[in-house]
Amino acid sequence: MSHKGIKYRLYDNGADIKQRLFVLNILTMQIVLVVTLIEILITDKFSLDAMLLFAMMLSILFAGIVSVKSGHIRLGALFIATILSFGYFPVTFFKGGGINGDAPLWFIYNIFFVGILLSGKVKYLFLSAQVLSAVACYVTGYLKPEWIVPNTDLMAHVYSLTALILISIAISSMIGLEIRLFIRENKLSEERKKEIEALNASQNRFFSSMSHEIRTPINTIIGLNEMILREDISDEVAEDAVNIRSAGTMLLNLINDILDMSKVQSGKMVIAEEPYSIGNMLSEIVGMLWNRANEKKLEFHVNVAPDIPYELIGDEIRIKQILLNVLNNSIKYTKEGSVSLSVQCERKDDNNAVIIFTVKDTGIGIKKEDIPYLFTAFKRVDENETRHIEGTGLGLSIVKQFLDLMGGKVNVNSIYTQGSTFIIEIPQKINGDKLIGDVDFEKSRTIAKLKEYHQKFEAPDARVLVVDDNELNLMVTSKLLRGTKVKIDCVSSGEEALKKTLNVPYNVILLDHLMPEMDGIECIRKIRSQIGGLCRECSIVALTANTGEENKALYVKEGFDGYLLKPVTGETLENEVLRHIPQELVHVIGDSQEILEETISWMRSKQIKKKVIVTTESVADIPDELIEKYNIPILPHKVSTPEGLFKDGSEIDTRGVLSYMEDKEHTIKPQAPNVKEHEDFFASQLNRANNLVHMSISSKVENSGCPKAIEAARAFNNVTVIDTGHLSSGQGLMVVEACKL
Ligand code: ADP
């Protein structure tokens, strides 16, 4: 080991910590042995002891070098520990004055050496052997004191002192090195963690900008292709156009899947915990899949147990994604027969349940040996059979990853050529006592029947402004809306948009987000506050290639009235425009006027946003009839009881609170929601309205939610918090008065 070599071996960050400690041990041991040897030579001149010691020194050095060079540290340490424990220790004990010499100190050193450098069973074996060897030496020394060569008084002192100094220096420098290495290692892993985080962040940025960039041309491809399909074209051209559409959709799904994968893998995927109606979710899913199953002439059965809670708390979007993935697969891999979805619920306690979704098909089935690989990314099994069916092999891998994040699981039963059953279990929280009952999926089917492109309306007097820096996008959007005869103006920058909004009272503005110079966010702020502007109150919809929940939340926060993700189909675009233009401007067209009108009014009732809503907290005293009449969203406070925290209103009612208050032994305390809970509440309510007025309990009372509400409202432009200065019935009265206004 050259000098540089030793330094390198001690400090090299890539080297194993055991190796570094081993090198340090060999070095200190060599120093101790050299000093001892010098002592012996001075006192004893050239003796057998000196030769033995010299031989041991050389063998330890040799064993050290060989084991470091060959990478067999453990073997080297074992060899040296054997020499020390069963050679050096007994010899020093008997030749160096027994308990009056330096052997006891060597015993400590040996234990230290083995403790640090060996591991597992061997370590404990050696430690026990060392203790036994020490016991044997001590007992023998006691019974046969004549076997011990006594030291002269002077030598005993000299040996003991030098061993004491050298061994304590050796031990403390080893501990010192260990601590130093530990700190270095820690710093290094912190740095690596930061590097990985930065890498992850840039990977995420890369994927989202990739998605943005790819969506823009796909928007053109899918949009213009849709225009071709609407024309009177030959069968051959129509077939080509349909193939383009399915290739475009597949490319889009691939991008979405890759984005999801990258999010899950970088730990950025957060599972939401929000109340949702499982019935509505299932209706939407049925609505989306009904057509596909119909096109393939497959029967599609839905069976939902009536005892499922009406409202659950969880991540509706991810659950929908999971079910759509598995159901789409079933339709995709089934040529004839049926696909069915059944939903059941297993209650764990009053607040928790496991929802069991079973998707069954009579399709091509999966070979037994392929089942373990179903959930592997990019893995498509049974490629001979499935080669001609479009797919990427990412869907089920994402399903599995989402389920892992939600604490759920999936099981597959399949008989090859006969069909498959996917059983998905997802634990969810229960919100309230209401049950789903008998759900009628007819409406979803009616709407599904209308999913094929039918122009639903004309509105020649409605005015729409489209703002996008990409000329092709402008062309696609205006072509897709052409059939509706709405008057469309297209501009390619925020500045031009502001010139238009100053003079024209548009009904809807479709606004891109990422544009050079003035982006969509700055533009909406300016339109909303434009002095003399005619569009301050008009509906503004984000029409963007930016995906992701964080972007959606941003648009809600900035007061957009809707969000459309490119590529957008003509139908989605028409529906969105339809829900924002005044009813008197709309002329419904089509064959089945009645169904269309019903659908349109259903869509409007579901989605149209109010200009302003009033919200308050559960501490406000308002009769249920008034809450229902004015549809007042209530943010629950928590009640802290000896049994734990309960949500006021849903988990504990007034009677419950009173019963605690009567009980003199227990104290209960109200607890206002924190800033984050206020923010989440505001964000979810802003899906229903453009502006929100939150009437809070007096800020003067102890534990008031008012300061937290004010803090949370700072994150939104369109949330106003009013300190009512009252509590319970006073606060309630003010809320009702505000609603009447
Ligand atoms: P893909 O995009 O290929 O459909 P998935 O991850 O969704 O990817 O599925 C992986 C593979 O599992 C598919 O390629 C297919 O071979 C098989 N598979 C999935 N669902 C079914 C099903 N219901 N019936 C038969 N095979 C299926």
Nearest CA to ligand 1 atom 21: 329
Asked whether 326 lines ligand 1 (CB < 6 A), one says no
Residue that has been written with the tokens 């789409």 in this structure: 328
> To the nearest whole number, what is the mean pLDDT of the chain?
84
Residue 372 CA, ligand 1 centroid: distance in Å: 12
Asked whether 371 lines ligand 1 (CB < 6 A), one says no
Nearest to 313 by CA among 281, 358, 283: 281
Q: Are residues 598 and 479 in contact, defined by beta-carbon separation less than 8 angstroms?
A: no
For the CA of 383, the nearest atom of ligand 1:
16
For 713, other C-beta atoms within 10 Å of its C-beta total 20
Nearest to 12 by CA among 24, 3, 20, 22: 20
Structure confidence by residue, pLDDT tens digits, 37-60: 887 787 766 677 788 888 888 998
**Amino acid 41: pLDDT:** 81
Residue that has been written with the tokens 């709405």 in this structure: 486
Asked whether 366 lines ligand 1 (CB < 6 A), one says yes
**Amino acid 710: pLDDT:** 92
> And the tokens for 656?
């419950």
Element (H, E) at 609: none
Residue 339 CA, ligand 1 centroid: distance in Å: 15
Asked whether 399 lines ligand 1 (CB < 6 A), one says no
For the CA of 326, the nearest atom of ligand 1:
20
Distances (CA, A) of 423 to 280, 355, 359, 371, 585: 21, 10, 6, 14, 48
For the CA of 359, the nearest atom of ligand 1:
23
Nearest to 686 by CA among 563, 522, 603, 508: 563
Nearest to 414 by CA among 423, 401, 426: 423
Band the pLDDT of 597: cuts 50, 70, 90: low
Asked whether 385 lines ligand 1 (CB < 6 A), one says no
Angle of helix 120-143 relative to helix 103-117, nearest 10 degrees, comes to 170
Mean pLDDT (whole number) for 442-455? 58
Q: Are residues 339 and 359 in contact, defined by beta-carbon separation less than 8 angstroms?
A: yes
Asked whether 420 lines ligand 1 (CB < 6 A), one says yes
Does the structure show a pLDDT above 70 at 652?
A: no
Does the structure show a pLDDT above 70 at 552?
A: yes
Asked whether 334 lines ligand 1 (CB < 6 A), one says no
Mean pLDDT (whole number) for 254-282? 85
The SS3 call for residue 547 is: coil
**Amino acid 313: pLDDT:** 95
741 class by beta-carbon count within 10 Å (0-12 exposed, 13-18 middle, 19+ buried): exposed
Residue 369 CA, ligand 1 centroid: distance in Å: 14
**Amino acid 450: pLDDT:** 46
State how far the Cα of 177 lies from the Cα of 184, in Å rounded to an integer: 10
Structure confidence by residue, pLDDT tens digits, 338-381: 999 999 999 999 899 999 999 999 999 999 888 888 888 777 77
Nearest to 77 by CA among 107, 49, 119: 119
Q: What percentage of the chain exceeds 90 in pLDDT?
A: 33
Residue 393 CA, ligand 1 centroid: distance in Å: 7
443 class by beta-carbon count within 10 Å (0-12 exposed, 13-18 middle, 19+ buried): middle
**Amino acid 2: pLDDT:** 45
State how far the Cα of 80 lies from the Cα of 63, in Å rounded to an integer: 7
Does the structure show a pLDDT above 70 at 676?
A: yes
Structure confidence by residue, pLDDT tens digits, 465-480: 999 999 999 999 999 9
Asked whether 364 lines ligand 1 (CB < 6 A), one says yes
Residue 342 DSSP class: E
Q: Are residues 513 and 542 in contact, defined by beta-carbon separation less than 8 angstroms?
A: yes
Band the pLDDT of 208: cuts 50, 70, 90: confident
> And the tokens for 499?
């010139």
For the CA of 391, the nearest atom of ligand 1:
2
Residue 368 CA, ligand 1 centroid: distance in Å: 14
Q: Are residues 723 and 699 in contact, defined by beta-carbon separation less than 8 angstroms?
A: yes
State how far the Cα of 99 lies from the Cα of 591, in Å rounded to an integer: 109
Residue 332 CA, ligand 1 centroid: distance in Å: 8
Do strands 719-723 and 689-696 pair parallel, antiparallel, or not at all (unpaired)? parallel
State how far the Cα of 678 lies from the Cα of 697, in Å rounded to an integer: 14
**What values do phi and psi take at 529, rounded to 5?**
-115, 20
Mean pLDDT (whole number) for 547-567? 88
Residue that has been written with the tokens 């109200």 in this structure: 670
Contacts of 397 (CB under 8 A, 6+ apart): 261, 375, 376, 377, 378, 379
Residue 498 CA, ligand 1 centroid: distance in Å: 50
Does the structure show a pLDDT above 70 at 461?
A: yes
Q: Are residues 374 and 412 in contact, defined by beta-carbon separation less than 8 angstroms?
A: yes
Asked whether 78 lines ligand 1 (CB < 6 A), one says no
**Amino acid 298: pLDDT:** 93
**Amino acid 8: pLDDT:** 62
Nearest CA to ligand 1 atom 8: 393
**Amino acid 91: pLDDT:** 84
Q: Are residues 464 and 399 in contact, defined by beta-carbon separation less than 8 angstroms?
A: no
Nearest CA to ligand 1 atom 23: 330
Contacts of 118 (CB under 8 A, 6+ apart): 74, 77, 78, 81, 126
Q: Are residues 371 and 400 in contact, defined by beta-carbon separation less than 8 angstroms?
A: no
pTM of the model: 0.56
Residue that has been written with the tokens 């037994």 in this structure: 368
Asked whether 374 lines ligand 1 (CB < 6 A), one says yes
**Amino acid 544: pLDDT:** 93
- Pocket probe mutation, ligand 1, options 380, 399, 401, max atoms within 8 Å of Cβ: 380
Band the pLDDT of 1: cuts 50, 70, 90: very low
Residue 380 CA, ligand 1 centroid: distance in Å: 6
State how far the Cα of 326 lies from the Cα of 334, in Å rounded to an integer: 12
- More confidently predicted of 643 and 81: 81
- More confidently predicted of 598 and 19: 19
Structure confidence by residue, pLDDT tens digits, 404-416: 999 999 999 999 8
Q: Are residues 48 and 149 in contact, defined by beta-carbon separation less than 8 angstroms?
A: no
Residue 454 CA, ligand 1 centroid: distance in Å: 32
Band the pLDDT of 616: cuts 50, 70, 90: very high
Element (H, E) at 617: strand 610-617
Residue that has been written with the tokens 């041309």 in this structure: 217
Nearest to 675 by CA among 618, 717, 616, 715: 715
Residue 301 CA, ligand 1 centroid: distance in Å: 20
Mean pLDDT (whole number) for 695-721? 88
For 432, other C-beta atoms within 10 Å of its C-beta total 14
Q: Are residues 207 and 262 in contact, defined by beta-carbon separation less than 8 angstroms?
A: yes
Asked whether 651 lines ligand 1 (CB < 6 A), one says no
Q: Are residues 405 and 272 in contact, defined by beta-carbon separation less than 8 angstroms?
A: no
Band the pLDDT of 114: cuts 50, 70, 90: confident
Does the structure show a pLDDT above 90 at 429?
A: yes
Asked whether 396 lines ligand 1 (CB < 6 A), one says yes
Structure confidence by residue, pLDDT tens digits, 494-514: 999 999 999 999 999 999 999
Nearest CA to ligand 1 atom 17: 381
Structure confidence by residue, pLDDT tens digits, 142-189: 999 988 888 777 777 877 888 888 788 878 877 887 788 788 889 999
Band the pLDDT of 211: cuts 50, 70, 90: confident
Nearest CA to ligand 1 atom 13: 380
Nearest to 596 by CA among 442, 443, 456: 456
**Amino acid 193: pLDDT:** 92
**Amino acid 322: pLDDT:** 95
Maximum average pLDDT range among 12-16, 264-268, 470-474? 470-474
- Pocket probe mutation, ligand 1, options 253, 360, 374, 379, max atoms within 8 Å of Cβ: 374
State how far the Cα of 105 lies from the Cα of 580, in Å rounded to an integer: 88
For the ranges 113-117, 223-227, 319-323, 431-435, the lowest mean pLDDT is seen at: 113-117
**Amino acid 341: pLDDT:** 94
Does the structure show a pLDDT above 90 at 630?
A: no
Asked whether 361 lines ligand 1 (CB < 6 A), one says yes
Band the pLDDT of 615: cuts 50, 70, 90: very high
Asked whether 258 lines ligand 1 (CB < 6 A), one says no
Burial 660-685 (b: 16+ CB within 10 A, else e): beeeeeeebebebbebebbbbbbbeb
Asked whether 400 lines ligand 1 (CB < 6 A), one says no
Nearest CA to ligand 1 atom 16: 381
Residue 172 CA, ligand 1 centroid: distance in Å: 62
Band the pLDDT of 252: cuts 50, 70, 90: confident
> And the tokens for 344?
């059941």
